[in-house]
Amino acid sequence: MNSRDAAIAHARNSFDTGEFRELLARRVALPTESQNPERGPVLRQYLEQEVGPAFEAMGFTCRILEHANAKAPFLLAERIEAPDATTVFGYGHGDVIRGLDREWQEGLSPWQLKEREGRWYGRGIADNKGQHTVNMEAMRHVIATRGKLGFNAKFLVEMGEETGSPGLRELCTEHRDAMQADLLIASDGPRLRAERPTVFLGSRGSMNFDLTIEARAGGHHSGNWGGLISNPGIQLAHAIASIVSPTGQIRIPEWVPAELPASVRRVLADCEVDGGTDGPEIEAWWGEPGLSPAERVFGWSSFEVLAFKTGNPDTPVNAIPPRAWARCQLRFVVGVDPEQVLPALRRHLDRHGFGMVQIATTRETFFNATRIDPDDAWVQWAVASLARTTGKKPAILPNLGGSLPNDIFTDLLGLRTIWVPHSYAGCSQHAPNEHLPPELLREGLEVMTGLYWDLGSGDTPAAQK
């Protein structure tokens, strides 16, 4: 057995003996709800008493970082083995969405790792405690086998991702020199399919905005005034209908890319979207015509109406409502200028006679679209490593269908970004009963141990700084 195989076997054994589960259970037990103001001490505890000591035991130097714009601390762990060695940046978040304790299945709790019907349940198992624990443990097994990593490692753990990562951008700007690296390798989000190793190289951008029509001060009897005064609910429905076709095709040219790059089309041709047994059935007629499902969700933009309100939905009355409101969202890809999204919408609505519609940005977090080239040498190297470990052909996604603050890493820190997810689309992330199949975590541990081993082997693309 060569040393690479020995490291992977060591990692596999730690999982099979229950060592990994015990560690993850301890982390799940900490209720690190960043949306709950009362959890501040627990957020700090996770860094200072849980992941910090784990990094230090691997020879990392750790420090707690804070920023005035952040509501929770960060931890930066660093292990520098040689000044001229490849430096890899890692990222994870220890905060979780609210536990929603009462909504879990009977006998389950967000703060207890429990196995039921071949699944591990607990808040953070998928997002993101399970994923960064896999990566940390994989590095530990490489060090235990080789005596060193063979590369330099920096790892940032934040505790505010579920509240929009406040202060992350400012922190990375302030500590840019300390966070310099050659590339980012991190884990978040789902695999394309639970059984297929996956890499994604960025994320779609996301912009939420409100559309509102304020027609008049109050409602008026529909019998006395129907047919005489405008109904803002009807007007707003027509305005929204002008933005997309009846089959969901976006009708504002500035909101979609001019084309799909050839490298993106090529990698997506090998990708089949599957939400698993619990996921909805894909509707082939919805969205941009002429694109495959993978191209529609990973290579194109999508527009959604998240909420629509007019009148009083709970207790309707016979009155023409004075107001209508809709919360809308555009997910967009590289090639769409975010600065032109709302101006293009304004021009479109005016051109179609909907000048009465007001547009307002929301306070929700905005994400830029990011993507590195699937043909990049580091991408091909990482995919080869995953294939060598698993004997499977990994899926390459040019970007995640969802959104991450990935532009902080690509644009601000100048890093190539390769994400290796250890979850799947049906994991109930952010919902009650969050879970993962343990075999997915086990394979993730094997994959990352092999990947980190290969990073230290010297057979990597030349660092391009």
Domain ranges of the chain: 3-203+368-455, 205-257+301-361
Tell me, what DSSP letter sits at residue 326?
E
pLDDT at 374: 95
pLDDT at 464: 44
Within 244-304, where are the H helices? 262-268, 293-298
| Tokens encoding 119 | 């699944």
Residue showing tokens 């970082």: 65
Domains 3-203+368-455 and 205-257+301-361 fall in the same CATH topology: no
pLDDT at 298: 96
- In tens, the pLDDT along 329-379 reads 999 999 999 999 999 999 999 999 999 999 999 977 789 999 999 999 999
Among the listed residues 242, 219, 239, 240, the one whose alpha carbon sits nearest the alpha carbon of residue 229: 219
Among the listed residues 88, 369, 339, 415, the one whose alpha carbon sits nearest the alpha carbon of residue 202: 369
pLDDT at 1: 67
Q: Give the pLDDT band (50/70/90) at residue 146.
A: very high
pLDDT at 465: 43
Instruction: State how beta strands 183-186 and 220-221 pair.
Output: unpaired
Residue showing tokens 């076709």: 245
By mean pLDDT, which of 244-248, 284-288, 460-464 is the weakest?
460-464
Q: Give the pLDDT band (50/70/90) at residue 50.
A: very high
Q: What pTM was computed for the model?
A: 0.92
Q: Give the pLDDT band (50/70/90) at residue 403.
A: confident
Integer distance in angstroms from the first to the last C-alpha of the chain? 36
Non-local (6+) Cβ contacts of 438 within 8 A are 15, 21, 115, 118, 119, 120
The C-alpha atoms of residue 171 and residue 74 are separated, in whole angstroms, by 9
Mean pLDDT computed over every residue of the chain: 96
The C-alpha atoms of residue 337 and residue 192 are separated, in whole angstroms, by 27
pLDDT at 2: 77
* C-beta of residue 396 within 8 angstroms of C-beta of residue 383: yes
Element spanning 425, H or E: none
Beta strand spans in 103-225 (E)? 114-116, 119-121, 152-158, 183-186, 198-200, 202-203, 205-214, 220-221
Q: Give the pLDDT band (50/70/90) at residue 154.
A: very high
Q: In the predicted model, what is the mean pLDDT of residues 284-295?
A: 96
Element spanning 374, H or E: none
| Tokens encoding 321 | 């409502």
The CATH class given to the 205-257+301-361 domain equals: alpha beta
By mean pLDDT, which of 14-23, 132-141, 270-279, 414-423 is the weakest?
270-279
Task: State the architecture of 3-203+368-455 in CATH terms.
Answer: 3-Layer(aba) Sandwich (3.40)
Q: In the predicted model, what is the mean pLDDT of residues 294-298?
A: 96
Among the listed residues 122, 187, 116, the one whose alpha carbon sits nearest the alpha carbon of residue 417: 187
pLDDT at 17: 98
pLDDT at 463: 46
Percent of the chain with pLDDT over 90: 94
Percent of the chain with pLDDT over 70: 98
**Residue 187: pLDDT above 80?**
yes
| Tokens encoding 256 | 């979609």
SS3 64: strand
